[in-house]
A and B are shown apart, each in its own frame.
Chain A
Amino acid sequence: MVISISVLDSCEVDLSDSIRPVDSRIWVNAIVGVKDVVKIYVGNTSGVNSGDKAEYRDDAVVKLKVNSGSYNRLVYRIDSTSANKGYYYYGRLENALEGDTLSFMSWIPGSDFDTVKGVTYIPRKPEISEPVVSTSIASTGYFMVDIDLDIPDSLKSSKYFEIRLKEWKYSDINSEYPTIVRDVTLLNDLKLSYGLTWNEKLNSTLFDYSDLEDSNLHLKFKVKNNYSGIKINFELRAVTKDYYDYFKALDGGSIVNSNIINGSGIFAGYAKYSKLYDIK
């Protein structure tokens, strides 16, 4: 009996063979958008057996340059709503524009971490006609929202896209789990392809233009009925290949294709079309 119990429950032991240590690295999450505030997160990873704790770093030096211009240092500022995170608010550099090449570098003075670098660009803004939206009562307490949009041929060159849905609140720009939106289905000519599967943690989906069977996308989702009305922000982003590969892999929990040289993470650009909808 005792033996059988051990078979069924908590049959765990420490891994007796040592795991080869892997060094920690500087980690960067830098997604730069056209006419958006430039926010870059820098931290260090915890490598296996490295002894380092994975954390955000406020002591890093972060520099950015546009095209062939000179590197400009970014300023560190603590976000008032989240004391644990640091982000760098871009104050003196002009907003990056479509087509611009961005270069990035960072290091942590006094540490053993290698200097990290990255290169990306800003894609062309997706120009689409305004999506058609309709709402209906889904069930008690919920609306069903339908958004119909066209992805024209002109966007073919941009190739990679992301759709995001978020409840929009003035004070809630970085909601970690925006779960106001539920049961999203995304149909393209009645085909639900893997590339269009909704990621509920990020409330977004990534897709490749070549995944589409035709130009029509049909987005359907539920929202909770707030009787005073809610605002849903719809975004269609054109993203770089690095962005697409990185978040696809991360979503898959498999190999993460970092484009940070000597480090981990992502440095990528996007350009967006967005529309705010009042749901009542």
Chain B
Amino acid sequence: MKKIIGVFIFIILSCFGTIDAQDSLLLHKVKFRIVNRDLSNALVDLSKATKINIAFNIIDIPEKKISLYAPNYSLKEVLDFLIKGTKLKYTVLNDQVVVFLPKNESDKENIIYGYITDKKSGEKLVYASVYLPVSRTGTVSNDYGFYSLKLNNNDTTVVFSYLGYKSLTVKLSDLNNANLDVNLEKEPDKILDEIIITETKSGVKKLEFYEPEKINIEGLEKMVHIAGEDDIVRYNYVKPGVLTGADGFGGMHVRGGNTGGNIMLLDGVPVYNAQHAIGLFSVFNSSIIKTAKFLKGDFPARYGGGLESVLDVRTRDGNKKKLGGEFDVGIFTVKGVLEGPISDNKSSILLSFRRTYLDIWSKAFSSVLSNEIRKKKFSYYFYDLNMKLNIELNKRNRLYLNLYKGIDNFLNNSQEFKSKDDDLIVLKNDDIWKWGNRLMSIQLNSQLGQKIFVNTTIYNSKYSLNSNSSNISLLPNESSKYFYGGSLLESEINDIGLKVDVDYAINSYNFLRFGTLNIHHEIEPFVYIKNSIINTIPDAPKPDEIKSGIQFFSSNSVENRFYIEDKMSLGNSSLLNLGIHFAVFNNKDMKYKSIEPRLIFSSFLSKNIVYSASIVKMSQFSHLLTNNGLGLPSEILLPSTKRLLPEEVWQFGTGINYDIKDNMNFSVNAYYKYAKNLVEQKRGSSFIISQNSNWEDYIPGGIGKMYGIETQLKYSVDKFRLLFNYTYSKSKRSYKHILDGKFLDYRFSRTHYMNFLLFYEISKKTILSLSSVYGSGNPYTIPTQLTPEGELIYEEPNNYKLPFYQRIDVGVMTKFNVKGTSQELKIGIYNLLSRKNPFYVTFKGTKGFLYNTDFKQVYVFPIFPSVKYRIKF
């Protein structure tokens, strides 16, 4: 009862604000000086200086640094100065000053929520920072531009910021309700600002702390890319720990992992084989990318199904305010985008296409390459089509419809004759490959109250591959018999999935995410590889003949995944993301389960140093089978079966990120991975995947150990921006059938790898870029002995190191505006020094010798200039 009365009295007193209960106490003259002191300590100092008791609850006092020189002020004036800008009040009670937070301010749960959008286009801004500078907490907008943030008692302002946009500060006292939708304005064309280095303003630095995996899209277009084509996957090769296969081909290998372990998502839908032109380009059209995240170790629980990395690409919604577009032409590709509002500036549509015209070039090349004894025909092209429809159903619900289709088509025929006057064919090659993806999805974003955001997605992801290759050569010393080596590969994957993801901003210290993913997989791989001796070229097996006698292997399975993760702020300086991911895979023959803990921790050790650590387990129920190590589209995706166990990896990581100065940052990260059931196809002259073949015998599982140290230095000064990465890494595999399980170097590993990136702002509109890559040679398998019968003996896989890889690229990009359009010209040179970087090794030579000159190193890209022009309207 007494307590209630006491509280009641306190409330009455509070309602009157500052009360002059004893004026003389507050009029007391004070001689007081503090320099950069915390408010709580300043109050203690003031109490000591005046010998007047100043009482307060430390929880109510915000963290605020104060400097004050008061030679002869009253206590009231000093107190007013100290609490200025906070919600604190003070009163005099019983000869003491009580500093307090008014009760209605301390008890009410204040939340702000809403969407962050681009002021000009209405585009939702993803991973934008929302920061409370007083309480030093914050959040970021989610994948759909929505945020929700609980305010603390002392917060008076909130800051919204996003790279390339002007920050916006909003006074909380100006708000009438909790819904705060914000429009951010783009900075005038600042060509170099924050390409690589984020200036250490507190808000932006906090963004990195919360979402370190966000990719800087603005930097993507300023680099020199092969054939001038910006590509988000190739852009990742600037990051430490990320390698290509062989000279840009062969997929992405992250921290010594297999390219099949990368999860590639386009607006949340998985893409199987996201490569065009065997890895030179990806399926992600850079003109329509809004944002992207790349994770290579710290996988929060919401991701699953791949061991090595996650690339989560989100496309733009389309301009809701006005019709616009762009057109882009380079030496290999042409692309265009058209976007605009549908009705009432609430809905929009975005269409894009991209196509190479390499097939036009290649017809010309073919005739040049042909001569009297050799006929050559070569053709390649790919195209992508994207469509995104974005409909605002009402203030709380938004619907998206996404479509993507892409195709690659490759043809290569060559015939070599014995001589000019002899029409006997001595060599015949035929390759016909066609592959592609089709994605469809419907997504519903629903905002349930102030704190909960739900995304529901239904999707279909389909990948198909058809490849037919044959190589026929006249046998030596035989005038009429031929060696035939052929392969027929077909793969069809059809997924139907249902995803529900829930974001729940419990408070400013806890952000909960949970959800489920349910996929029905239909996988039909077919592989037929054969070598044989034939009497005449027409005797070579035809695809229809091969397929007619074989029953295709087919797998129908269901994969269910559930996850829950909580991102917790521990005080103002630490983040802990704790989660669990649970997966079940089953078909008519078997069931597999996987429980995957995820723990990610980061903390400010000091103002400039962040420490991070993570322990994650990942699993995948599909296996990418490569049979040549070159990343060619002959890669086949296989499901787990009774004998082909799911792949798993445990990854441990730790690191330090250090802001040496405001314009210089250094980071070092170490990792260790242990993987099981990694597949590797046994080499063989024949291999068949069909219903009736025990093909699993041919794909034994193995163990992988990968570890390394990644370092990165970022530096900016005046008009220069510099990025330097160095990685030391090892990646090893062990298979029981190879040398009794001896650990051997993985084919796509490089012990030392470094890259260097420099941008220089020539003018406000023109930028020069220079990049350099160095990597120690890949392991490669070469024969060590030749028998008198002409057989090559390979005694150990990956027993040779190819020559080192090195490349320098330069480029210049300039932007200009003409009659309401924004235009851009890029000129670049890829591989400026024309170094003949090794792609693979062939063996040629006289029978009986195995000299150095018998080995030839094949390279693909010598010096390669490019030009690209873009116009936006």
A173 interface hit (Cβ, 8 Å):
no
Contact of A12 with B683 at beta-carbon distance under 8 Å, contacts A48-B782, A194-B697, A256-B793 already known: no
Measured CA separation A199–B851 after assembly (Å): 29
Measured CA separation A254–B787 after assembly (Å): 14
Residue of B481, B785, B850 near A264 (CB, 8 A) is B785
| B787: A residues at CB distance < 8 A | 27, 43, 45, 54, 264-265
A127 interface hit (Cβ, 8 Å):
no
| A252: B residues at CB distance < 8 A | 682-685
A92 interface hit (Cβ, 8 Å):
no
Measured CA separation A163–B457 after assembly (Å): 56
Residue of A nearest to B369 (CB): A9
Q: Which of B794-825 contact A (CB under 8 A)?
A: 794-797, 800-803
| B786: A residues at CB distance < 8 A | 45-46, 54
Contact check, B365 vs A8: say whether CB atoms are below 8 A apart: yes
Chain B residues within 8 Å of chain A by Cβ, number: 76
Please give the distance in Å from B516's CB to the nearest CB on chain A.
Answer: 39
Please give the distance in Å from B254's CB to the nearest CB on chain A.
Answer: 27
Contact check, B693 vs A8: say whether CB atoms are below 8 A apart: no
A11 interface hit (Cβ, 8 Å):
yes
Measured CA separation A207–B419 after assembly (Å): 43
Contact check, B849 vs A53: say whether CB atoms are below 8 A apart: yes
Question: Closest 8 interchain pairs by CB?
Answer: A200-B532, A43-B788, A254-B683, A193-B694, A252-B684, A45-B785, A12-B856, A53-B848
B41 interface hit (Cβ, 8 Å):
no
Contact check, B857 vs A5: say whether CB atoms are below 8 A apart: no
Please give the distance in Å from A279's CB to the nearest CB on chain B.
Answer: 18
Binds A, one of B122-130, B506-514, B633-641, B861-869: B861-869
Inter-chain residue pair count (beta carbon < 8 A): 187
A91 interface hit (Cβ, 8 Å):
no
- 0 or 1 for each of A36-61: is its CB under 8 Å from B? (1 = yes): 00000101111111110111100000
Measured CA separation A242–B499 after assembly (Å): 53
Measured CA separation A200–B787 after assembly (Å): 20
B424 interface hit (Cβ, 8 Å):
no
Contact of A194 with B698 at beta-carbon distance under 8 Å, contacts A4-B361, A56-B788, A253-B794 already known: yes
Measured CA separation A200–B533 after assembly (Å): 6
- 0 or 1 for each of B839-873: is its CB under 8 Å from A? (1 = yes): 10110000111111101111111111100000000
B739 interface hit (Cβ, 8 Å):
yes
| B202: A residues at CB distance < 8 A | none
B784 interface hit (Cβ, 8 Å):
yes
Binds B, one of A17-25, A66-74, A146-154, A229-237: A17-25
Measured CA separation A41–B788 after assembly (Å): 10
Contact check, B785 vs A194: say whether CB atoms are below 8 A apart: no
Measured CA separation A195–B861 after assembly (Å): 41
Contact check, B692 vs A55: say whether CB atoms are below 8 A apart: no
Residue of A14, A43, A194 near B853 (CB, 8 A) is A14
- 0 or 1 for each of A175-192: is its CB under 8 Å from B? (1 = yes): 001010000010000111
Contact check, A48 vs B850: say whether CB atoms are below 8 A apart: yes
Measured CA separation A108–B738 after assembly (Å): 31
Residue of B nearest to A213 (CB): B694
From A22, A41, A211, name the one whose CB has the most chain B CB atoms within 10 angstroms: A22
| B863: A residues at CB distance < 8 A | 3
Contact check, B782 vs A192: say whether CB atoms are below 8 A apart: no
Contact check, A11 vs B859: say whether CB atoms are below 8 A apart: yes
Please give the distance in Å from A162's CB to the nearest CB on chain B.
Answer: 16
Contact of A14 with B856 at beta-carbon distance under 8 Å, contacts A27-B788, A48-B784, A255-B739 already known: yes
Measured CA separation A193–B290 after assembly (Å): 49
B410 interface hit (Cβ, 8 Å):
no
A132 interface hit (Cβ, 8 Å):
no
B106 interface hit (Cβ, 8 Å):
no
Residue of A nearest to B777 (CB): A17
Measured CA separation A208–B297 after assembly (Å): 43
| A194: B residues at CB distance < 8 A | 684, 686-688, 693-695, 697-698
B95 interface hit (Cβ, 8 Å):
no
Contact check, B794 vs A256: say whether CB atoms are below 8 A apart: yes
Please give the distance in Å from B32's CB to the nearest CB on chain A.
Answer: 75
Measured CA separation A53–B549 after assembly (Å): 45
Residue of A nearest to B834 (CB): A3
Residue of B nearest to A16 (CB): B803
Residue of B nearest to A183 (CB): B541
